[in-house]
Structure 1
Amino acid sequence: MKIKPALISLAALCHCSLPTLQAQAEVEFAELIGKTQDRIEQTLAEYQAFLKETQNEKLEIVSQINQVENELVRLRHQEINAKRHATESEFDLKDKQTRINALDTQTQYSHGVLSEYLTNFESRIHVSEDQNYIAPLREIREKLSSVGEASADRLPALFEALELGLDRQESLIGGTRFKGRAITPTGGVKEGTIALVGPTAYFKSETDSTAGPLRFNSGTIEPGMSPIDQAAAQHLHELLNQGNGLLPLDSSLGNALVLKKAKGTIPEHVSKGGWVGYAILALGGMAILVALYKLIELRGIRIHEPQDIRSIAISAVTESADEAKSKIASLKGPIAKILGIGIDFSKTDIDTQLDAMDSIILRYRPRLERFLPVLATTAAVAPLMGLLGTVVGMIKTFTLIEVFGTGDAKSLSSGISEALVTTELGLIVAIPALIFHGIFSRIMRSRLAAMEQIATDFSRQVFATQQGGSR
C-alpha cells in the first residue's frame, strides 16, 4: 500500500518535465535530421563525383577495350591471312611437287617410248638402208653411252633418233633412191642404185644389167640380191633410170624365192630320210605293183550271172548235160565252171552238188586273196619304219648336240629332217596301201558272195525240178 504514493509522485514529476524533454528531443531530432541531410547531400555529392569519375574511367576503359578489340580483330585478320597464305603455300608446294612428279613421269615415259622407237627403228629399217644409217645410229648410241642414266639427260640424243626416223619417213613417201652396194647371186659386191618402194627394195648395177629385189644376207651389212629373169631386170633398169616403168613386185619380199630354193627337189627331199626312207619307198613301190596287179586281176574276174538259172537247171535234169551246157556257153570265168560242175552233178543229191560247186569256189578264193597280205603288211610296217627313221634321226641329232652343242642349228637340221621325212614317207606309203587293201578285200568278198549265191540258186532249182519230176 506504501508503493502507491510513490508511484503517484513519480507520475507527477514525469508530467511536469515532459514539455521540456519534448522540446529538447525536437531540437536533437532537428539537429540529427540536419546532420543526416548533410550526410545525404555529402554522400550524394560524393556519389555524383564517383559516378562522374566512374563514367570517365568507364569511357576510358571502353575506349581501351575498343582499341584492344580492334587490335584483336586486326590480329585475327592477320592470323587468318597468315593461315591462308600458309595453306596456299602448302598447296602450292604440293601442287609444284605433283607437277614435278608428273613431269618426271612424263619424262620417263617419253624416254621409254623413244628408246623403244630407237630399237624398233634399228630393227625395222630395210636391210638395204643399213649402209646409210649405220653411222648416225652409231653416233646416237655413243651419245647415249656417254651420258648418265637420268632420263632427262638422254632425251636429246633420243630426239635425234626421232628426227632421223621422221626424215626417213618423209623421204620414203612415193619411194626413194640412193647409192649403195649389194651382193649379187654369184657372191660379188657391186655398186649401184637402190630404190625403196614401200617395204621392198630393188638394186641395179651401174656397170652391167644386173638387177633384182634385195633381201637380208646373213653375216654382211650389204643386202643380197635375188635373181630375176632378164625381162624383169630390164624393166627394173628402166624404172630406176627414168623413174617410171613396170615394177617386178614380190609380195613375199623375196621369201618365196628363198623358200623355193630351200625346199629343193623331190630327190633331195627323199635323200634326207636316209636309208630308212629308201627302204620305205621300196616297200611302197612293191605295194604299188601289187595294187596294179590286183586291179587288173579283179577286173578280169567278172561275175556274169546267167539270165535264167531255172531254165538251165530244168535242162540239166530233164535233158542231157550237153544241152544244159550249151545254154552257158556264152559265160566265162568262174561262173561257167561252177555251173558246169553243177550240171555234171545234177543227177546226184543236192548236198553232193553243192559240195562240188563249193570246191570250185574254194579254188578261186586263194586266187582272189593272193598278194592282199602284202598290202596289209605294207600298211602296218610302213609307219613302223617311219618311226624307226624318226628314232634314228633323233639319235643322230642328239649325237650332234653332244659334239657341237645347240648353237649351230644347221648342223642339227639334218638329223631332224631325217626324223621327220621318214615319218612322212611312212604315212605316205601306209595310207594308200591301207585304202587299196580295204577296197580289194571288199571286191573279193562281193565276188565270192556272188559265186555262192549263184551256186545256191542253181542247186535249189535243180532240187525243185527233181521233186516236181518225181511227183
Structure 2
Amino acid sequence: MIRTLTLGTLLVSLTLAGQVMAAPAANLDQLLNLVKQGKTAEAKENSAREARFRSEKSNQASILAQAKQDLVTEEKRSVELETQFEKQELETAALQEALNKRLGSLKELFGVLQQAAGDTTGQFETSIISSQFENRGDYLTKLAKKMGTSSELASIEEIERLWFELQREMTESGNVVKFNHSVIDATGQEKESEVIRVGTFNLVADGKYLKYDSDTGKIAELIRQPSARFVETAEAMTNAAPGQLVEFGLDPSRGTLLSALIKEPNVKERVEQGGLVGFIIIGVGIISMLIALERIITLSLTRAKVRAQTKSTTASLSNPLGRVLSVYQNNPKLDPDTLELKLAEAIIKEKPRLERFIPLLKIIAVAAPLLGLLGTVIGMIVTFQSITLFGTGDPKLMAGGISQALITTVLGLLVALPTLFFHSISNSIAKNVLHILEEQSAGVIAERMEQEKDNDVRAA
C-alpha cells in the first residue's frame, strides 16, 4: 500500500548553486539521490562563501581604520569651528553695540518710519486718491519690508519720498479735481469718462456716484444710485463750471453711509413689502381718491350754479335750485301747504344726486385702517412662523413679516386720513347746497303765503 502511494508523481524543489530546480522522483531511491545531490551543492556553496569572507576580512579592517581616522579629524575640525563661532559672535555683538551707539535717536526714527510706511500702505490701498495716482503704495510696501526684514537703513531720498506721499495725501484730501479714467457702467461696459474726485470721500462721473475697487484698481458705477435728491447734487457737480460753488451730497464715512442709503428701499419696494393686503389697500385708496375728486369737483360746480341761480329770476333746469324753483313757477295757483309738499319732494329728489358716493367715502375711511390691521396680523403670523422654523438667531429672517406688518398699517392710515378729509369736504359742500335749496324753498313758500294774505285782504 505504501509502495503504491510513493509511485505517484513527486515534485521536489532542490536548491543547487543558488538556483531552484525541480526534478520528478519516480520512487524513493531516486528521491534519496536527489536529496544527497542537494546537500553536496549546499556544502560547496557554503565553502565558497567562507573563502570569500576570509578574503574580504582584511579589506574591512582597513576601511574601519580609515573611518576611525576620519572621525578624529572631524572632531578636531568641529572644535576649531566652535571656537571660531564664539569669536565671531563676540565680534558681532561688539559691532552691533557700536552701531546702536552711532545710530542713537536715529534708531527710533527708523522704527517710526517703518511703522508709518506700513500703516500708510493700508490707507493708500483703500483711498480713492489711488484711482488718480496708481501704484503709489508699492513703494511704501517695499520700504516697510526692507526696513523690517533686513538691517539696511532707509536713505534720505526714501525718507523724503515717504514725506512727499503723506503730504500729497493730506493735500489731495481737500481738493476737488477732474481726471480721465476708465469707468465700468451698470451694464458692465467699460468706457473712458471724466471722473470728479471730491477729496477722499466720493467719486462722481456723468451725474452718478462711483466706487473704487482697491483690489483691481477699477472704477465702477454703482449698480443702484441713492435717492434722487443726492443724484441731483451729483449732476450739479458734473455740470458745474470751474470755481462754481454747488451743493453736493458728501459721504464723510467714505462709503459707509452711501452703502446704507443704497440699501434703503424706495417707494415701490416698500409697497411690495406690504404683500397682497398692501396692494388691496392701495387699490381702495385709488378708488377713494377718484371718488373724492369727482365729488368735490362736481359739488363745487353745482354750488356755483346754485349761487348763480339765486341771483337770477329765471329758473334753469341745469342746477338743483332751478329745478326746485321750476316747481314753484309751474304751479302758481297752489296753496302754500301743497306747494310746500311739492318743494319738499323736489328737494328730496335732488338729495341723492348731491350725496352720491359720499357714504362710500366714509366706509373706505373706516375700512382702510382695518385692512391695515389685517396686514399687520398676517405679517406677525409670518414673523412667528419664521421664529418657529429658524429661531431668533438671524433677524433678517423675521424682517419680511415685520415689514409687512408695519407697511400695511402705514398704508391703511395713509388711505384713511385723506379719505376722511375728502369725505368731510364733500359732505359739507353737499349740505351747503341742500341748505340753499331749503332756504330758497322756505322763501318761496313765505312769498306765496304773503300773496294769498294780500288777496284775502283785497277780497275783504
- TM-score, normalised on structure 1? 0.47
**Greater RCO, CA 8 A, separation 6+:** 1
User: Where is the helix percentage greater, Structure 1 or Structure 2?
Assistant: 1
- TM-score, normalised on structure 2? 0.48
